[in-house]
Amino acid sequence: MLGNFTYCNPTKLFFGKGALKEMRGELAKYGKNVLLVYGKGSVKRSGIYDEVVAMLKECGKEIYEDAGVMPNPTTEKLAEGCERARAANADLILAVGGGSVCDYAKAVSVSAYCGEDPWEKFFIRFEEPSGKIIPVGCVLTMVGTGSEMNGGSVITNHAQKLKIGHVFGEEVFPKFSVLDPEYTFTLPAYQMVAGFYDIMSHILEQYLSGTDDNTSDYIMEGLMRSLVHSSRIAVKNPLDYEARSNIMWTATWALNTLVAMGKDTDWEVHMLGQAVGAHTDATHGMTLAAVAPAYYRLIMPYGLHQFRRFAVNVWDVPTKGKTDEEIAEAGICAMEKWMKEIGLVMRLRDLGVTEDMLGGIAKSTLVMTGGYKVLTQEDIMQVLRESL
């Protein structure tokens, strides 16, 4: 049954080829100091950096740089960003990059003036922002996280071997995001397909949980069918605008809060994947892909109805003469087949995990309570061993 909820998503999106030009109107709404946040330099090689800087200058902005955001942004980098934001007296943080850069920009936006250790405040104690929040805008260059239209931010603490996300409220959502599918064309195939599974995982974390038969489930089935369809085209031809644009749009709606409204959600695959990430620095989407099948087989008996539905409505598994268990298993097999087809990493060993690391990863894995089964430490070890 749909539970009670409040829905509000104020982020303005500019979508399509050449959409960057629409950002002009937005820039006019903020003061002149812009903290330009980006990663390791791919935006310079692709020319996107030059386009953005040219527009900022045209609009009379003072540009302050914060480069070098890593794929799994760290507490150390966050501290540096806060200092830069304060030194610039930033009126706007403009993130140019993928989900990590957007996540990081949001973390800086709430942390720069929070007056204490942001790791402790937001990622350990899960408190809400209290001080000034610097507005954030995004120019997206990699698809998957949905960070361009939500309040999520994931930060990694290497000393504590923890990678933890905080979902902030709408006051932290990006004010605007530019989504130009062509900006994702230069992304290496490995990152592209990792993003595809990140999208699938976002949907599954919200779909494979609860006992509902509600509108969100139907919307998610549509999103998954669209993703499977377009991803098969994109891996063959990464320059297929139609496929890449539909995937970009699917990714946004997979994790901008809509499909979670009124329903239970799980997120245990993300907890497992984030623990792997904290120990290996592996690409996020790949960590999810490596642990998902074993996890789903473990919890399947506890949510059989929904796994059966997943098989039939997303993967067109024929039902005639089969038990519910057989149908559900065939759905997971169909997903695995698709995962291999698009080139995902299916084993933890291929992400640098060795058997002796499993105990540590298990210890770093947060246990969620919204799914079909609350995992024991033994369950977690079983999933990790089977995923190795």
CB of 302 to a second copy, least distance (A): 22
Structure tokens at 5: 């909820």
Looking at beta carbons only, is 233 or 357 nearer to a second copy?
A: 233
**Identity (one letter) of the amino acid at 212?**
D
Looking at beta carbons only, is 91 or 212 nearer to a second copy?
A: 212
Residue 319 is a binding residue for a second copy (CB under 8 A): no
| Residue 348 neighbours by CB under 8 Å, 6+ apart | 276, 290, 291, 384, 387, 388
CB of 6 to a second copy, least distance (A): 6
CB of 42 to a second copy, least distance (A): 24
Q: Which of 198, 205, 236 is nearest to 345 (CA)?
A: 198
Residue 171 is a binding residue for a second copy (CB under 8 A): no
Residue from 1, 28, 159, 356 in contact with a second copy (CB under 8 A):
1
The DSSP letter of residue 230 is H
The HSE-up count of residue 128 (CA atoms within 13 Å, CB side) is 5
| Residue 119 neighbours by CB under 8 Å, 6+ apart | 75, 78, 155, 157
Residue 318 is a binding residue for a second copy (CB under 8 A): no
CB of 154 to a second copy, least distance (A): 24
Residue 14 is a binding residue for a second copy (CB under 8 A): yes
For the chain, what is the radius of gyration of the CA atoms? 20
**Distance in angstroms (rounded) separating the CA atoms of residues 23 and 13:** 10
Residue from 123, 196, 207, 249 in contact with a second copy (CB under 8 A):
249
Size of the residue set binding a second copy (CB under 8 A)? 46
| H or E element at residue 339 | helix 324-342
In DSSP notation, 262-331 reads TS----HHHHHHHHHHHHH---HHHHHHHHHHHHHHHHGGGGHHHHHHHHHHHH----TT--HHHHHHHH
| Region of 47-55, 125-133, 246-254, 291-299 interacting with a second copy (CB under 8 A) | 246-254
Binding pattern to a second copy, positions 197-226, x when CB under 8 A?
----------------xxxxxxxxxxx-xx
Looking at beta carbons only, is 65 or 170 nearer to a second copy?
A: 170
Residue corresponding to tokens 């540096």: 80
End-to-end Cα distance, the chain: 37
Applying the rule CB under 8 A, the residues between 33 and 92 that interact with a second copy are: none
Looking at beta carbons only, is 160 or 313 nearer to a second copy?
A: 313
Residue from 262, 334, 373, 381 in contact with a second copy (CB under 8 A):
262
Residue from 5, 120, 126, 318 in contact with a second copy (CB under 8 A):
5
Strand ranges across the sheet with 62-66: 62-66, 33-38, 92-97, 136-140, 176-179
Looking at beta carbons only, is 127 or 212 nearer to a second copy?
A: 212
| Region of 30-38, 111-119, 237-245, 329-337 interacting with a second copy (CB under 8 A) | 237-245
The DSSP letter of residue 187 is S
Residue 235 is a binding residue for a second copy (CB under 8 A): no
| Region of 44-52, 194-202, 241-249, 298-306 interacting with a second copy (CB under 8 A) | 241-249
CB of 368 to a second copy, least distance (A): 23
Looking at beta carbons only, is 222 or 343 nearer to a second copy?
A: 222
Q: Which of 202, 233, 207 is nearest to 219 (CA)?
A: 207
Residue 173 is a binding residue for a second copy (CB under 8 A): no
Q: Which residues bind a second copy (CB under 8 A)?
A: 1-19, 22, 181, 213-223, 225-226, 229-230, 241-242, 245-246, 249-250, 253, 258, 261-262
